Chain A
Amino acid sequence: MDISVRRLCKEFDRYPALNGVSLEVGSGELIALLGPSGSGKTTLLRLIAGLEFPTSGSIYFGKEDASQKSVQERNVGFVFQHYALFRHMTVIDNISFGLRVRGRRNRPSDAAIRKRASDLLDLIQLPNVANRFPHQLSGGQRQRVALARALAIEPRVLLLDEPFGALDAKVRKELRRWLRELHERTGHTTIFVTHDQEEAMEMSDRVVVMSQGRIEQVGTPDEIYDRPASPFVFSFIGDSGELAVTIDRGEVFLDGRSLGPLAEGLPDGRARMFLRPHDLEITDDPAGAISGEVATVRRHAATRRIEIAVGEKRQRIEVAVPATRGFVPEGTQTFRPVRCRLFPAN
């Protein structure tokens, strides 16, 4: 089922949580809504589910306008961060709940419900917990049961709100891989909310980066990381440093020294230069290089992170060098920007 969100706005007590958001989700896609807290990502998910109603704008499920349909009519699978399992019911009763509450006409037979529930238990690889209660399960198991419960109703779309947020790092990693595999097998259109960029980049086909109730960028993980569309995306995704520079006829100046013609096509004036730690190389050639005083050196997995203070304003940026170099720089070093990204300052 493809989903189309059109100019969606939502206000809570006149406070805008979502400002005219439009988004197209293709059938079978796995989409991450990524952003800091307060960016509107959960609001967008809840609007799609029908747990909230938009102030304006519309939501289409396929060709059908779902905007004014109730949550019960939308037939979505929703998974909550804190599982929201029914704790007075066994696992099997939790999973069959969605089928059992159906009207007599649409309700499958008892045998069919039991079959479906036990198939789902196999799918979530927990065939032996059918008669346990939720409080007897671990967090990761509970979240899998919550997912099975959502899948039981054969939802048109699967919506997950920070599904791994309450789990510890190791379980989170396992579940991520498992969910990705499950998605490949079942092919549900899936939208999940996260504030963890690693999770978004690792799991999704496309990432929607949100900030302050707007979509900043929609793209594949590669596009988001390599070609950030805005200063916000650049600084939010991955490690990055920022330098204040000026542009004059395509040439970039840092404290009056030229860094070369890096800014073709950009307007003259003040600009913000964004660099990732891997975008800088140590060099001996001072022409077009950034020089700075080494402030700290830290080990970071397979690299050494050197923090340097650049120019009169002592702007801090990080540089990554391979740890194998055994190189502990001191004093002033020069670095050549291999890649960078410039945005006009406003």
Chain B
Amino acid sequence: MVSAVLPKLKEPSVIPGFGTTLGFTLFYLSAIVLIPLGALVLRAAGLGLSEFLTLAGDPRTLAALKLSFLASLAAASINAVFGLLVAWVLVRYDFFGRRLIDAIIDLPFALPTAVAGIALTSLYAPNGWIGGVLEPLGLKVAYTPIGVVVALTFVGLPFVVRTVEPVLRDLDREVEEASATLGAGRLATVTRVVLPALLPALLTGYALALARAIGEYGSVIFIAGNIPYVSEIAPLLIVIRLEEYNYAAATAVAAEMLAIAFLMLLAINLIQAYSRRRFGHAA
């Protein structure tokens, strides 16, 4: 049986070192990703089903998970819309300071998230510059779920911009011209021709921003106020449980997060694979 499988790997290839590189990739993935996650799953499995369900079904845990995932979805959706807009402006228009703005986009990548969180908090707090304006309008941002969304939007923006930008830049202008010669107005061209072409990149950016938002901790805890059942995110809850030496509860929350995040990213990847197969974006 072994000999029936091996020759496929042994086939001479133009690019040498297939065995070595595959081996390294598997080792690397295992060391960095699979073993830590495996340990987590193992630990969660060690809890036993009834204990796990009790811990996982805890109302405070469920509230934190709900906030984490809904706020992340909201933030990623906001980023998908406005990140696309920013990418569009950066690619399609030439204006004074374009390069500067281009560089600013990456700042959320580089800034320590705690710094971002504190800055956002001081801006959006009731006595802050923006919070002070919103407060009389009855809109509270800091120390509410809205604050969580604001922080997650901040950290996720570069993902959408940076994935959409190169695709938009490479988009064939002739396709838009073809659309115009066929009588399509600008709006029709953008919605029927340009956006479908950007969709795979936009989905990738969305998935990355979403993944980042789900795992985000540093910037959120400052602006969220961390009120249990209201503005407490799941990653924070894990830390709280750890500080209580309640490893079982921490593991349960972590395992739930892992499962939900994995399913969401898998779904996005499947949509992408489908659209890629269908529209021939693979080339």
Query: Which residues of A are in contact with B by a Cβ distance under 8 Å?
Result: 49-51, 71-72, 75-78, 80, 82, 84-88, 97-98, 101-102, 133-136, 146, 149-150, 152-153
Of B3-11, B105-113, B173-181, the segment with at least 4 beta carbons within 8 Å of chain A is B173-181
Say how far B164's CB is from chain A's closest CB, in angstroms.
16
> B182 and A135: CB pair below 8 A?
no
Contacts of B279 in A (CB 8 A): 87-88, 133
B163-200 vs A: 1/0 string, CB under 8 Å? 00000000010110111111111001000110011010
A51, A85, A87, A136: most-surrounded residue (chain B CB, <10 A): A87
> A86 and B181: CB pair below 8 A?
no
Contacts of B138 in A (CB 8 A): none
9 new A-B contacts, CB < 8 A, other than A78-B181, A84-B175, A84-B178, are: A51-B177, A78-B178, A85-B175, A86-B196, A87-B197, A87-B281, A97-B179, A101-B188, A153-B182
> B283 and A72: CB pair below 8 A?
no
Give Cα distance in the complex from A135 to B181, angstroms: 22
Give Cα distance in the complex from A84 to B193, angstroms: 11
| In the complex with contacts A102-B183, A135-B283, A153-B183, A80-B178 CB distance below 8 A | yes
The 8 closest A-B pairs by CB, nearest first: A135-B280, A98-B182, A84-B174, A78-B181, A84-B178, A101-B184, A88-B279, A88-B196
B195-219 vs A: 1/0 string, CB under 8 Å? 0110100000000000000000000
> A71 and B181: CB pair below 8 A?
yes
| In the complex with contacts A51-B177, A72-B183, A153-B183, A84-B280 CB distance below 8 A | no
Give Cα distance in the complex from A72 to B185, angstroms: 7
> A101 and B182: CB pair below 8 A?
yes
Give Cα distance in the complex from A22 to B158, angstroms: 51
Say how far A77's CB is from chain B's closest CB, in angstroms.
7
Give Cα distance in the complex from A102 to B188, angstroms: 10
The size bracket of the interface on B is 20 to 34
Give Cα distance in the complex from A170 to B180, angstroms: 32
Give Cα distance in the complex from A88 to B183, angstroms: 19
> A72 and B180: CB pair below 8 A?
yes
In the complex, B99 has a CB within 8 A of chain A:
no
> A80 and B177: CB pair below 8 A?
yes
List 8 A-B pairs, Cβ < 8 Å. Answer: A78-B181, A86-B175, A101-B185, A101-B192, A102-B183, A149-B182, A150-B182, A153-B183
A75, A77, A101: most-surrounded residue (chain B CB, <10 A): A101
| In the complex with contacts A101-B192, A135-B280, A77-B181 CB distance below 8 A | yes
Give Cα distance in the complex from A77 to B180, angstroms: 10
Closest residue of chain A to B172, judged by CB? A84
Contacts of A133 in B (CB 8 A): 278-280
Give Cα distance in the complex from A221 to B199, angstroms: 48
Say how far B184's CB is from chain A's closest CB, in angstroms.
4
Say how far B196's CB is from chain A's closest CB, in angstroms.
4
Contacts of A77 in B (CB 8 A): 181
> B181 and A49: CB pair below 8 A?
yes
> A82 and B280: CB pair below 8 A?
no
Contacts of B179 in A (CB 8 A): 86, 97, 101
**Which of A51, A86, A98, A150 is in CB contact (< 8 Å) with B193?**
A86
Contacts of B278 in A (CB 8 A): 88, 133
> B174 and A98: CB pair below 8 A?
no
> A71 and B193: CB pair below 8 A?
no
> B197 and A88: CB pair below 8 A?
yes
Give Cα distance in the complex from A91 to B281, angstroms: 16
B178, B185, B196, B281: most-surrounded residue (chain A CB, <10 A): B178
Give Cα distance in the complex from A44 to B175, angstroms: 20
Contacts of B182 in A (CB 8 A): 97-98, 101, 149-150, 152-153
> A78 and B177: CB pair below 8 A?
yes
Contacts of A152 in B (CB 8 A): 182
Give Cα distance in the complex from A51 to B189, angstroms: 14
Give Cα distance in the complex from A83 to B185, angstroms: 20
B112-123 vs A: 1/0 string, CB under 8 Å? 000000000000
B260-283 vs A: 1/0 string, CB under 8 Å? 000000000000000000111101
**Which of B181, B183, B197 is in CB contact (< 8 Å) with A51?**
B181
Say how far A47's CB is from chain B's closest CB, in angstroms.
13
Give Cα distance in the complex from A149 to B280, angstroms: 20
Closest residue of chain B to A161, judged by CB? B174
Say how far A92's CB is from chain B's closest CB, in angstroms.
15
Contacts of B172 in A (CB 8 A): 82, 84
Give Cα distance in the complex from A112 to B92, angstroms: 37
Say how far B194's CB is from chain A's closest CB, in angstroms.
10
Contacts of A72 in B (CB 8 A): 180-181, 183-185
| In the complex with contacts A72-B184, A101-B182, A84-B177 CB distance below 8 A | yes
Closest residue of chain B to A136, judged by CB? B280
Give Cα distance in the complex from A108 to B188, angstroms: 17
**Which of B178, B183, B193 is in CB contact (< 8 Å) with A75?**
B183
Give Cα distance in the complex from A78 to B180, angstroms: 10
Give Cα distance in the complex from A82 to B173, angstroms: 11
Say how far A27's CB is from chain B's closest CB, in angstroms.
20
Closest residue of chain B to A71, judged by CB? B180
Give Cα distance in the complex from A85 to B197, angstroms: 12
**Which of B183, B196, B281 is in CB contact (< 8 Å) with A98?**
B183
| In the complex with contacts A72-B185, A82-B172, A98-B183, A87-B177 CB distance below 8 A | no
Closest residue of chain A to B193, judged by CB? A86
Say how far B272's CB is from chain A's closest CB, in angstroms.
13
Give Cα distance in the complex from A195 to B280, angstroms: 31
